[in-house]
Structure 1
């Protein structure tokens, strides 16, 4: 039992810290608004991911078995939303230190939506549930543990990306550097989304 929980932890850690749309948004939020202002995005994305794992464990595998076209629909819906976020990041005005108080960092709801519509999150959750929950008894206990591990590790993983963004903010003090950074983050987000369709 302990070995499977350790495997869950390693799996969740790799999924949480690997580059992806939510982590790219967290890095941008940390760089543009600071770590504290990025926390609602971090919490929203983390809670949303644990709900994705729960949903997957309870129903989605069965639903996708009967309606395989739903997988494609979710993929395109999530991809479109994340490309919209990429455009918003690329076109966002450069926020000076004085203007930061008036600007809006990503909210808890935006973090939750970004994760809930993130195709990577669903694919990782489905893989994790099939690896660590489906064949175990009692399945509900393993699902509960996997959801809890996923929440904690996601908070740490996405939070780390926001902290990295906050740390590099001092190097991005000039408007030109910040503009280049925002466009680079938007391009990385777009590439990470488009790579799911190739």
Structure 2
């Protein structure tokens, strides 16, 4: 059991912590708005991830295999919404040290919809549940505990991405570095989505 748990944690950390749409969006939000103001966005992303976990365990893979056009529609919808968040981050104005950007901060709802439509999250959980399911007696408990471990690892990894972005925040009071970093994060988010769509 400890070996299976370690493998699950490592796989989840690598799959969900690699630079994809959600980690890059969190880093960009942390850098643009700060860690504290981006907490709602983080919580929304984790709530959306819960739906992805439930969706993966409930057999969304089978549904999408039966109706491939549904898979494409979900991917395109997710890509468009992630593009919207990328534009929101890339075009945020440069702030003076005391200025507030409260109205432009991605919200809890933004985070929830973002990860709800994030194809990478579903793909990651299909892989995790097919390869790293914890060997616990009973089908239900095995999926439940595996899902909870994944959620805890995701919360830690996503918080670290948010803090990484937050550490860049001082640069966001200087127009040129602020614009370069925001646009870079936005382009990386779009590239991560394009990679998923083109596979």
Q: Residue 49 of structure 1 contacts residue 151 of structure 1 at CA under 8 Å; is this kept in 2?
A: yes
Instruction: Label 1:165 to 1:44 Cα distance change in 2 as closer, same or farther (>3 A).
Output: same
Distance 1:67 1:137 in 2: 33
- Unaligned residue ranges in structure 2 (runs of 5+): none
Instruction: Label 1:148 to 1:4 Cα distance change in 2 as closer, same or farther (>3 A).
Output: same
| Aligned counterparts, 1:64-143, within 5 A | 64-100=64-100, 102-133=102-133, 138-143=138-143
Give the equivalent residue in structure 2 for 1:23.
23
TM superposition outliers: structure 1 runs of 4+ over 6 Å: none
Distance 2:108 2:158 in 1: 13
Q: CA deviation at 1:134?
A: 10
Q: CA deviation at 1:159?
A: 0.7
Residue 178, structure 1, aligned to residue 171, structure 2: no
Q: Residue 51 of structure 1 contacts residue 147 of structure 1 at CA under 8 Å; is this kept in 2?
A: no
| Aligned counterparts, 1:28-67, within 5 A | 28-67=28-67
Q: CA deviation at 1:144?
A: 0.6
TM-score (norm 2): 0.89
Secondary structure, aligned partner of 2:105? coil
Q: Residue 49 of structure 1 contacts residue 150 of structure 1 at CA under 8 Å; is this kept in 2?
A: no
State the superposition RMSD in angstroms: 2.0
TM-score (norm 1): 0.90
